[in-house]
Chain A
Amino acid sequence: MKTLITASDNNTEALFDKRFGRAAWFCVYDEDSKDIKFIENMNVNANNGAGTKAAEKAVELDIKKIISGDFGPKAKDLLTKFQIQMVIIQEDELTINQIINTLTG
């Protein structure tokens, strides 16, 4: 099962980005293979619809769970439609590694 974590940079020491559509990078973590990939958010500076685009990307990547700081209404609609679980973390200063570690328990 694949989880997407919004990240401020493309490595596991990077800080978690609490913005969904406006995060610079998406970290994709595969819980089965333990594989970690970073995908650049091409719509980070879009005038409109950055959240929708990020949600679209998540569906494309067959993501089942997204960890971010918040989700806008349009992204939420789409993610709900495709039954992607939205997890909100409000804590600052977390690294991607720390979040992955909590996932693997």
Chain B
Amino acid sequence: MSTRIAIASGKGGTGKTTVALNLFTILGDTIAEKIELVDCDVEEPNDQIFFKHAELESQENIYQIVPHIDEDLCIFCRNCVEYCEFNAIVVLPGVKFAEVNKSLCHSCGACSIACAQEAILEYPQKIGMVNSYGIKNQIKLKEGRLKIGSVMQTRLIKELKNRISGDSDIIIYDSPPGTSCPVVETISDTDYVILVTEPTLFGLHDLKLMVNLMKEVNIPYGVVVNKAGLGDNEVYDYLKNQKIDLLGEITFSKDYASIYAQGEIIENMPESIKYQYDHIIEKLMQKLEDD
């Protein structure tokens, strides 16, 4: 069984990708023979950019099935409207109008069952793709890439996860920001969640939202304070008061931010930062063993 770890944050820009990439790289170099990084930020996947020598191994289009109502066959009985949990179907008997709103449709198929006239046809519609890359040996990267205009983030993340081979020692999910459905889907099957925050008012505000979510899903979690040295001490007081595990800190460094901006954090990890990650991994492994 693989150990599944998600890196999430609530707030955007706290350093999810940085932490995910560094943990992935260090774990891959040390304790994990087979490891996979999964970029679940399907609206803007960017993990792959940091691996300049990654080789694209496969590319698969992902579809959702959407219904279409044939107005010539439809008797405008509104049965399908009654069945639809998502208010995605508009049927107006008075003007003989029937239409499915694709952006509301969840592809559940209930309307097809509801229709006795066989007026509902289903056809596939592309929502995005899943790309798989090889980094080296058993070290892999997978990403979901949402089609522009599609709102099916959560479904694509689900499909992305279905395509992960279960034989890795460790799987790291780089989560999208926020606390809504795509994030819930990302963390749903994990053994541990690392919440990355920054010691600012904004970081703390969104961390609290994320902590509320964690309580709801009941998955063990700990916090990494990134950009330590910026802002104030409120986040530390909060963690102490709430008895939330602090896995470690990563000191803010302008030089490091500039290495990140150039996409070179994998090749150029400063010793001082590596040391901080080693410390985080040590604590993380301890937590995983405890749970």
Flag if B95 contacts A52 (CB, 8 Å): no
Interface of A is mostly: helix
How long is the Cα–Cα vector from A39 to B88 in the complex, in angstroms? 22
Cβ < 8 Å to B, chain A residues 8-47:
43, 46-47
Which residues in B have their C-beta under 8 angstroms from that of A82?
95, 97
* Assembly CA distance A103 to B92 (angstroms): 28
The distance from the CB of A45 to the nearest CB of chain B, in whole angstroms, is 12
Interface size on B, residues (CB 8 A): 11
The reply to whether B94 and A49 form a contact with Cβ atoms under 8 Å apart is no
Asked if B113 lies at the interface with its beta carbon under 8 angstroms from chain A, I say: no
Decide: A59 and B92 in contact? CB cutoff 8 A. yes
Whether A52 and B94, one on each chain, are in contact in the complex, defined by CB atoms closer than 8 angstroms, is no
Q: In the bound complex, do residue A56 and residue B88 qualify as a contact, i.e. CB atoms below 8 Å apart?
A: no
Instruction: Check A49–B104 contact: CB distance below 8 A.
Output: yes
Q: Are B87 and A59 in contact, with the CB atoms below 8 A?
A: no
Q: Is A92 at the interface (CB under 8 A from chain B)?
A: no
Q: Is B150 part of the binding interface, using a Cβ–Cβ cutoff of 8 Å?
A: no
Using A59-B92, A59-B94 as known contacts, say yes or no to A47 and B103 having CB atoms under 8 A apart: no
Interface size band for A: 10 to 19
Bitwise, B84-120 to A at CB < 8 A (1) or not (0) is 0011101010110100010110000000000000000
A4 in the interface (beta carbon within 8 A) = no
Contacts A48-B104, A74-B101: A43 and B87 contacting too (C-beta < 8 A)? yes
Cα distance A63–B209 in the bound complex, in angstroms: 43
> Given B86, B90, B103, B104, which contacts A56 in the complex, CB threshold below 8 Å?
B90
Min C-beta distance of B119 to chain A, whole Å = 18
- Contact A49 B86, beta carbon cutoff 8 Å: yes
Q: Check if A60 is an interface residue, CB within 8 A of chain B.
A: yes
CA distance A53 to B97 in the complex (A): 14
Taken together as a complex, chains A and B put the C-alpha atoms of A50 and B86 apart, in Å, by 10
B90 touches A48 (CB 8 A): no
Residue A94 at the chain B interface, CB threshold 8 Å: no
**Hey, which bits of chain B sit against chain A, CB under 8 A?**
86-88, 90, 92, 94-95, 97, 101, 103-104
Point out residues on A near B: beta carbons under 8 Å.
Answer: 43, 46-50, 52-53, 55-56, 59-60, 62, 74, 78, 82
